[in-house]
Amino acid sequence: MLISAAIEQTRAKDATGFQFKAMSTDFDGLVDGVIGVPLFETYQLALPEHPDLLRLDSKIRRAVKKASRSGMRVRDAETIGELKAWYDLYLQTMRRLVALPKPYRFFEQAWRRLHPEGVLRLLLAEQVQAGQSRLIAGILLLQWGQTVSYSFAGWRREDQNLRPNDLLHWHAIQSACEEGGRWYDFGNVRVGNQGLIQFKRKWGAETASIYRYSYPSVPGVSPATGNSFNPASSPNQSRGSRVRHWVTPLWQHLPIRTVRLIGDCCHTLRYY
């Protein structure tokens, strides 16, 4: 069995651990002590057979119209140079969200390997005024089978009121439907992230849980909730909240070059 073989490899190589994710708990009990715990929620929108059957919430319609009236247009990125320009926006976004960015080499390799096969798309939202275009935002999409998955995003904070992300997702959903897709996956949300959950729910997406399986198992984690003890009373939870309270303003004021360097150092991806 693959899980048992992976655990044996973990032991043989004296590795620190082994993890995988699944969208069900079907693997529970197959190996002693390996139990799935809820880690993320994923949001998937079922697509109709024809784009004309797509329905938008009134708030989304207003946002899309506002973006269009502001001179926004959406197009596919075509060059490495455009990928680099989007990556700068991605770094700014990760700094705002206090999140560790993936290295540029991750996206460059993905672009070189997957874009020619039609598996990867980078949609760019630009504002066109007086014949000049300005990059506002972009989302990176992956397509496999009949599912199009939203994977990464970058946008300018000062232009967020132009609603570029709503326009980008609407364009991506229409395109997926036109090409015969049956699902648009809005991606993972860590359990409890209400702001991001609300953004994805407004599109009418259906919710499914993603479970993490770990070997060795994580001490103190409840399979029922995925939380360590009671989130409200756990010392680890409280300590983590205090640390984030102090780290957030520091991280958000770091130079972009420093944010990029930290991301490069923290991601050891051997397949580059």
- For 208-256, what is each residue's pLDDT tens digit? 888 888 877 655 444 444 443 333 444 444 555 676 778 888 999 999 9
Q: Tokens 């199009």 — which residue?
A: 148
Of the chain, the percentage scoring pLDDT greater than 90 comes to 53
Selection from 93, 149, 264 nearest residue 272 by Cα: 264
The tens digit of pLDDT for each residue in 71-88 reads: 999 999 999 999 999 999
Domain with CATH 3.40.630.30 in the chain: 55-181+230-272
- Residue range 55-181+230-272 forms a domain whose CATH class is alpha beta
> pLDDT band at residue 50, thresholds of 50, 70 and 90?
confident
CB of 101 closer than 8 Å to CB of 261 = no
**60 vs 23, which has greater pLDDT?**
60
How far apart (Å, rounded) are the C-alpha atoms in residues 33 and 17?
13
How far apart (Å, rounded) are the C-alpha atoms in residues 155 and 123?
12
Gyration radius of the chain over CA positions: 20
Of the listed ranges 156-160, 166-170, 221-225, 265-269, the one predicted with least confidence? 221-225
Amino acid 16: pLDDT: 63
Residue 270: other Cβ atoms inside 10 A: 4
> Please, what's the b/e burial string for 175-189 (b: 16 or more CB within 10 A of its CB; e: otherwise)?
bbbeeebbbbbbbbb
How far apart (Å, rounded) are the C-alpha atoms in residues 41 and 39?
7
